[in-house]
Chains A and B, each alone.
Chain A
Amino acid sequence: MTIRTLLIANRGEIAVRVIRAAKALGMRTVQVYSQADANSLAVGLADEAIEIGPPAARKSYLDIDAVLNAAKAAKADAVHPGYGFLSENADFADAVVAAGMKFVGPSGDAIRLLGDKVAARRVAAEAGVPTVPGSDGRVDNTDVAREIVTRIGFPVMIKAAAGGGGRGIRIVNSLDEFERQFPQAAAEAAAAFGDGGLYLEKVIEKARHVEVQILGDGSNFIHCFERECSLQRRRQKIWEEAPSVALAPEVREKLCSSAVALASSVGYSGAGTVEYLYDDATGDFYFIEVNTRIQVEHPVTEMITGIDLVQEMLCIAGGAPLSIRQEDVRSAGHAIECRINAEDPYRDFMPAPGLVSELEIPQGDGVRFDTLLYAGYEVPPFYDSLLGKLVVHGKDRPGCLAKLRSALDGLKITGIPTTVPLHRALAADPEIAASRYHTRFLEHWLQTVFAASQGNREVA
């Protein structure tokens, strides 16, 4: 049964993106919105719009009952969750299905399994996907721990099992340091978290973040090649590319096959992404996690493969088998995406909501701007700062970068500061042009190269 009426349980540029894909497939679209989003582009584009609550996301876009009631009132037969908000909430996926509708994504059980870090690591290992070398779970005994660190090699992270978000981590570089730090770490973890449990993980230095796009219909599983997302600030991606120029063809083949093996092992349905760390020095890659939803940076994959991933998601959710076979997925040229945020790069990325008085969008072959903006739109302060994604496609990486520089010059957002100047500087940087970067490159570059350039900054 194909989907006739689709409810979009999200906001911003991804809501616009989903509406366009659904309309292209002849679906009726219903957009939910908070009181702060009554004037949003998505509300204007959808066939119908239903208010679901006040601006605070927990009282609107994160309120499962409010979203479900809107879906029932609109007689929707499917719900697309976008990314963020309820997209990886297994209970929401189950509730949509229990209410007699289709959830555009994998089953609640698959979301639950792959969302649990320890369980996902086990699934990956069982599917033959390499994981970061370390202890298999907790290690309490110093002798056992010594044996593990000697085997995996330094530097090693000693992590508190009860820690998280970067807390309770020590990095040791030698056996001497390990002997001193391991007992201290246990005592400290016990004091800080009420649990002295530790585990060990090898530090992958100068790693790149590489991820594989997968599609599955429950029986057939394919990959749509990889994306590289190493340029990050505070663990937030800001610039993504496809393909990754760091991978040799045989590494790419192994990496992408491992993602398909993982998808197949859990009978995956929908679009998903398997994330990895890639070690430039050794050519090894390691599983990080699976994201069971469409990703922000999906357009770079669409640009190099010609596949509309959101339309594929909708067809799969409607019950159609995958329309593409692996041998039909071809990668052509190079694509780069720049995330344009309402943040001031000259003031430590201070968020900057407000009125966009004028908007000029670059046009041309291989240039795409996925956005929530229109001229005269007031960007509300309550949500993520992403305004849009400038995506360009060229026949090779140098051609793509040249086109990107021109497209960035043609993008004019007047009224609020944005990260466009940051992207102009990145697109002109020789290290970026040479693709010499890793996940810790950007923060250092911001403090050195970008900070030094602020003397002759343009007026925003």
Chain B
Amino acid sequence: MSKVEIRSPLPGTFYRRPAPDSPPFKQDGDAVADSDVIGLIEVMKSFHEIKAGTQGNAIRFLVDDGDAVMAGQALAEVDP
């Protein structure tokens, strides 16, 4: 079965944690629900939550914490 990608709706900087000293929203291998927050995008000094938007298992992140991303870029993938 093919993987489902979770894409960024915005360009900006991707963060996997709610704050620098907090644990990540999700670890590689976690299951996710549709409404789960998987990260934040910082764009022009404002922060936007990124929801999984899909249900799946064994999430695998494709970009690192603090990486610059383009709109439409895949942030992570899950097994549907």
Contacts and interface: CB of A to CB of B under 8 A. Distances in A.
Nearest to B68: A55
Interface in A340-374: 342-343, 351, 353-354
Contacts of A381: 10-13, 43-44, 68
Contacts of B12: 353, 381-382
A385 interface: yes
Contact of A384 (B11, B45, B68): B45
B73 to A, nearest CB: 12
Interface residues of A, number: 13
Contacts of A354: 11
Q: Which of A36, A56, A343 counts the most chain B CB atoms within 10 A? A: A56
A12 B68 CA distance: 19
B45 A385 contact: yes
Contacts of B46: 351
Interface residues of B, number: 10
Contacts of B29: none
Query: Which residue of B11, B43, B44, B68 has the most chain A CB atoms within 10 A of its CB atom?
Result: B44
A288 to B, nearest CB: 22
A344 to B, nearest CB: 12
B66 interface: yes
Contacts of A36: 68
A56 B66 contact: yes
Nearest to A351: B44
Contacts of A385: 44-45
A56 to B, nearest CB: 7
Contacts of B11: 353-354, 381
Interface string B36-80: 000000011110000000000000000000101000000000000
B67 to A, nearest CB: 10
A342 B11 CA distance: 13
A382 to B, nearest CB: 7
A353 B41 CA distance: 13
Contacts of A193: none
B13 A383 contact: no
Interface in B1-57: 10-13, 43-46
A382 B13 CA distance: 7
Interface string A360-402: 0000000000000000000001111100000000000000000
Contacts of A353: 11-12, 43-44
A237 B66 CA distance: 29
Given A343-B44, A353-B43, 20 more contacts: A55-B13, A56-B13, A56-B66, A56-B68, A342-B44, A351-B43, A351-B44, A351-B45, A351-B46, A353-B44, A381-B11, A381-B43, A381-B44, A381-B68, A382-B12, A382-B44, A383-B44, A383-B45, A384-B44, A384-B45
Interface of B: 10-13, 43-46, 66, 68
* Nearest 10 CB-CB pairings of A with B: A351-B44, A385-B44, A381-B11, A381-B12, A381-B43, A351-B43, A55-B68, A351-B46, A353-B11, A384-B45
